[in-house]
Amino acid sequence: MTLLAPLFLQLALLGIGVTIALHFIVTRQPPSSVLPTTRFVPRDTVQVTTVSRPNDLLLLLLRVLIMLLIGLAFARPVLVADRTPVARIVLADASFAVKDIAEVRDSVRKLLRPQDVFIAFDTAAHTLPISALDTLTATHAPGHLSAALVRALREAAELRARADSIEIVLVSPLRASAVDGATLAIRELWPGPVRIVDVSARTDSAITRGVQIRGAADDDGIRLAFNYTGADAGTRLVRGQLSADDTAWAARGGTLVHWPVATAPQGFAPRSTTDTVGGVLAGDAALVYPLERLWTAKDSAHVAARWIDGEPAALERTVGSGCIREVAVSVPDRGDVVLRPSFARFAQALTAPCTALMTGPPASEETRAAIGGDGPLAHRDIILPPDDIATPLVPWLLATALLLALLELRMRRSHAIARAHELKTQQESAA
Amino acid sequence: MPLSQYAAALDAVRGIGWPALRRVRTTPVGPHASIVRGSTAEFLEYRAYRQGDDPAKIDWKLVARTDRVYVRVSQERTILPTMLVADASASMAFPQTTHAKWKIASQLAIGLAAIARHRGDPVGLAVAHADGSTIIEPRTRSTVLEEMMRALDVTPGGTNSVADVMADALHLGARVVLLTDFLDDDDTGLLAHAKAAVAAGREVYAIHIVDGLELDPDAKQLLVSDPELPDVRRPMPPNARTVYKRRFAEWRDKLARDWRRAGTVYELVVPQAEPFRRTIRRITSAGEKGGASR
């Protein structure tokens, strides 16, 4: 057992010493005796100090225990297990980018030992028991390495008490999409190397070849935005109501764009007062035109397009292996906006394959090198301890101290009652 | 104190007399020599006839023998109303466990009252306690002792003015017995009343009751307090005890001297220091020494 704040225990021991001393050394006025002829005693002031045997040893014992327990609780004791030479933190990529999750499971299984830590991640990272490895499944969410690294740093801070050196192993196809602007900065916080174990990545098979348009009138201007509108296109754009077939098609991995003409898309509600907005933005495509805004978003989902004032103009929901994109932008039936190239770019951005379906290219060599790093394994001494170390003993110590304090209070009251009773008996016998 | 506890005191005073210190001025017939010369059977002397004497008192046989006119003078006997004044202040409830001072004061009061009443004197009682006083006027009836016992059945406490009660008692009795520890703040007033009473021809007995623990306090007592003034606390280490004992003795000597000089009978009584009968005899014998002739 080690103490995180031993000063408190030292203070408690000091307090115990003072308490014991106070129990033994009694400075008080002696009990007064009645003497009718007190007037003949010379006037004087005397303070009597006596060193007496304490007659309340049980009370003293309780007080000592209470102070000791409180001091120990504030000193935050931590039980430390035996250290292993090397502990491993395995980061398993369970995102959409993984082609075969079984390959990940096999790789992780080879690496994991009982004392190691297992973290699975996609957009979020979770520490799992090793037994959960067998049930690990791939998700439809993209992988975020930053989240995994942050989790690994926290686990390393906890693990430093149980290991001399710590190694981080990343089991992932490591696509470029998994690396964001913060990833390398987070990586620099880890003083050792990160071993990268490659697994196969899913290939982006759902490459759009065009848009199939359903429910649009023949003179719907939106048709002009797309060159190819064959039935085998990778993206389906529905201008009317969605059917069960549309949803099933999306769940099979398609990109379904629901862009109704007059009704509110799912996740949107009619605005109390319609207004006109000067433009809308989808990815890098911007359409600058006075567009009428009829609906407002009521659900929270991935925003695929925004009005220029920041309000969502299109939402994207993941359905099965695909997604449904609800577009709340009314297409003007007058004017030449649909003939403009900017409208075509905007429409193509809205009909691009779903974000979750894009694994993107592999990370560059520079990125891999930066993430992998080099040098010896990180020693426990150079790993920062955690800000908040779990101290499970503390509540028990405090609870026991509270219990003893209640007992001490009860005992003191019992003593006081007994003393009062004794005094009353003396007075009655005197009367 | 239960009435039965007076049985021993009453038994102890059996056969003890308590003559007056001097001739008594009262006229009712009683056991004490009166200042009045009368014509009772108790012959005292012959005195030459003076104008105005009752001719019936002339001893004609003596006239025949001596040819001079003499009248017979006899000793009149009268009563001596006796008042007992008991101080029931807090200082009399000492020691706290036994109240020995109050007990001896009560027993002395009943004992002296029994002696006086047995000789035909009316007896009364005045108890000075915290709530004022309880006064039983001098009477000779058979139940007066029981009334006195009930009046004495109090627990001493608080403070009182014994001097005021003493003044009332002096109006009621020709002989007043004061049973107190003289720790009342107004002891000079008490002495002044006594002096005035003695000057008026009354008999005053000052019975000073002091407990043994007051004479020689327990050495374990390191801090003492006055029961009538609880705020007055004084430490009493060994050197202070010596000073205390000296001061207390000086005070007692001065008190005895003052009261005796005032013409009163002063007696110091320490509970348990001597048999009760001896204490009673010590008090009542003051009249025998110089008593009736004074």
Name which residue leads in pLDDT, B160 or B178. B178
Chain A residues closer than 8 Å to B219 by CB: none
Chain A residues closer than 8 Å to B155 by CB: 431
Cβ within 8 Å, pair A41-B234: yes
Identify the CATH assignment for A84-203+361-382 out of 3.40.140.10, 2.40.110.10, 3.30.465.10, 3.40.50.410. Answer: 3.40.50.410
Q: How confident is the model at residue B79 (pLDDT cuts 50, 70, 90)?
A: confident
- Half-sphere exposure of residue B228, counting CA atoms within 13 Å on the CB side? 24
Q: Which of A33, A43, A423, A426 to mutate to test the interface with B (most CBs of B within 10 A)?
A: A33
ipTM: 0.78
Cβ within 8 Å, pair A38-B224: yes
Residue of A nearest to B237 (CA): A46
Please tell me the predicted confidence (pLDDT) of residue B123. 92
Q: Which of A26, A28, A29, A39 to mutate to test the interface with B (most CBs of B within 10 A)?
A: A39
CATH number, span A205-357? 3.40.50
Average pLDDT of span A260-267: 89
Q: Does A33 touch chain B (CB under 8 A)?
A: yes
Q: Does the structure show a pLDDT above 80 at B69? A: yes
What's the Cα-to-Cα distance from B108 to each of B103, B104, B178, B221, rounded to whole Å?
Answer: 9, 6, 10, 30
Q: Which 18-77 residues of chain B touch chain A by CB within 8 A?
A: none
Average pLDDT of span A67-87: 85
Domain ranges of chain A: 2-43+53-76+391-430, 84-203+361-382, 205-357
Cβ within 8 Å, pair B244-A40: yes
Tell me the per-residue pLDDT of A98-135, one tens digit each, with 9 for 90 and over: 888 999 999 999 999 888 999 999 888 999 998 888 88
Task: Compute the nearest-CA separation of A391 from chain B (Å).
Answer: 54
Residue of B nearest to A427 (CA): B97
In percent, the amount of chain A with pLDDT more than 90 equals: 33
Least reliable range by pLDDT among A10-14, A48-52, B185-189: A48-52
Topology agreement, domain A84-203+361-382 and domain A205-357:
yes
Q: How confident is the model at residue A333 (pLDDT cuts 50, 70, 90)?
A: confident
Q: How confident is the model at residue B37 (pLDDT cuts 50, 70, 90)?
A: low
Tell me the per-residue pLDDT of A197-254, one tens digit each, with 9 for 90 and over: 999 887 765 445 578 888 888 888 888 777 666 666 778 899 888 899 999 988 887 8
Q: How confident is the model at residue A45 (pLDDT cuts 50, 70, 90)?
A: low
Name which residue leads in pLDDT, A6 or A305. A305
Tell me the per-residue pLDDT of A370-398, one tens digit each, with 9 for 90 and over: 999 888 888 878 887 776 667 788 899 99
Q: Does A31 touch chain B (CB under 8 A)?
A: yes
Tell me the per-residue pLDDT of B92-150, one tens digit each, with 9 for 90 and over: 998 888 899 999 999 999 999 999 888 888 899 999 988 888 999 998 888 889 999 99
In percent, the amount of chain A with pLDDT more than 70 equals: 89
Cβ within 8 Å, pair B223-A41: no
Q: What is the mean pLDDT of chain A?
A: 84
Tell me the per-residue pLDDT of B246-294, one tens digit each, with 9 for 90 and over: 999 999 999 999 999 999 999 999 998 999 999 999 998 876 654 433 3
A139 residue type, one letter? T
Q: Please work out, in degrees rounded to the nearest 5, the angle formed at the alpha carbon of residue A201 by the alpha carbons of A195 and A207.
A: 150
Q: Does A50 touch chain B (CB under 8 A)?
A: no
Chain B residues closer than 8 Å to A40 by CB: 244, 247-248, 251
Q: Does A244 touch chain B (CB under 8 A)?
A: no
Cβ within 8 Å, pair B91-A40: no
What's the Cα-to-Cα distance from A54 to each of A58, A405, A407, A411, rounded to whole Å?
Answer: 10, 20, 19, 15
Residue of B nearest to A425 (CA): B97
Chain A residues closer than 8 Å to B247 by CB: 40, 42
Q: Does B155 touch chain A (CB under 8 A)?
A: yes
Tell me the per-residue pLDDT of A135-191, one tens digit each, with 9 for 90 and over: 888 877 778 899 999 999 988 888 887 888 999 999 999 888 888 889 999 999 999
Tell me the per-residue pLDDT of A345-359, one tens digit each, with 9 for 90 and over: 898 888 887 765 566
Please tell me the predicted confidence (pLDDT) of residue A315. 92
Answer whether A141's CB lies under 8 Å from A113's CB.
Answer: no
Q: Which of B159, B218, B222 to mutate to test the interface with A (most CBs of A within 10 A)?
A: B222
Q: Does the structure show a pLDDT above 80 at B168? A: yes
The predicted model scores a pTM of 0.46
Average pLDDT of span A16-20: 89
Tell me the per-residue pLDDT of A46-63, one tens digit each, with 9 for 90 and over: 555 555 556 678 888 899
